[in-house]
Amino acid sequence: MNFTQMHERLRLEMLRRIERGTLSVSLLARQTGFGQPHLSNFLHNRRQLSLEALDRVLAAQHLTAADLLPALQQAGTLQVDVESNSIPVVSHHAALFEPYIRAVTTLSMLHLPPDMLRPIRTRASTARRAWERFVAVRITAGDAAPMDPLVLPEAIALLDRHYTSLMAYRVDRPSLYAVRHGAHLTLRYVEFVSNRLVLRPHSLAFPVELIEIDPGESPSDLIAGRVALILNET
């Protein structure tokens, strides 16, 4: 693991702890002695920390470089067999916020035909490419209703977390995305208009929703990934 990879994994881990409520920017500032604007720039990927600064953050959060290794290299983590397309089915929270999927957060495994995922194209930032790529989530009846009949209750959605661009995957049809709406994962067609994400349902019975993009965020920050496959139960 090189410096850039370690830097990015530490940034993602700090964001994960903030999302979970176990850390805040102000607390991290008190622990490390850095100013909040300095840490905010680091967390929003606007600047890198020095090696000495990384060491201070690691020490403050009781972490070592070994803790930042990819999940597949850590004991007790999930061995995802991409070649045979065995994909972890995880909670919505894990799909949104967990860069590396651990065995303890895996609900079940989705087994797909070999080589099925190999041709799928990616389009994501360098930071997002550090995440484990494919995860699957189960969609409840309430979450499925706005996308009916494309998505039915208890469907499994396969997410490609390395495709967070709003450029259409295919020019002849809209792309379906898993989007972070507050702390909730929702499936919608997505556009970016006037600094807002426009979330469009498939069913006309449901309203179009808007999400304001906060300062320092980009639209792709709110996109968990493109929905590469929908498996509806029959």
Q: Which tokens is 25 given?
A: 């920017």
What pLDDT tens digit does each residue of the chain (234 aa) get? 677 778 888 888 888 788 777 788 999 999 999 999 999 999 988 888 898 999 999 998 888 777 776 544 444 444 444 455 789 999 999 999 888 887 878 899 999 887 888 889 999 887 788 888 999 999 999 999 999 999 999 999 999 999 999 988 998 889 999 999 988 899 999 999 988 999 999 999 999 999 998 877 788 889 999 999 999 986
Q: Which residues contact 173 (CB under 8 A, 6 or more apart)?
A: none
Long-range contacts at 86-91 (CB < 8 A, ≥ 24 apart) = 86/110, 86/111, 86/112, 87/111, 87/112, 87/134, 87/135, 87/136, 87/158, 88/135, 88/136, 89/135, 89/136, 89/137, 89/138, 89/156, 90/135, 90/136, 90/137, 91/137
* Structure token digits, residue 95: 């799909």
Structural domains in the chain, CATH included, are: 3-68 (1.10.260.40), 71-231 (2.10.109.10)
| Identity of residue 190 | V
pTM above 0.75, yes or no: no
Q: How far apart are alpha carbons 111 and 71 in whole angstroms?
A: 20
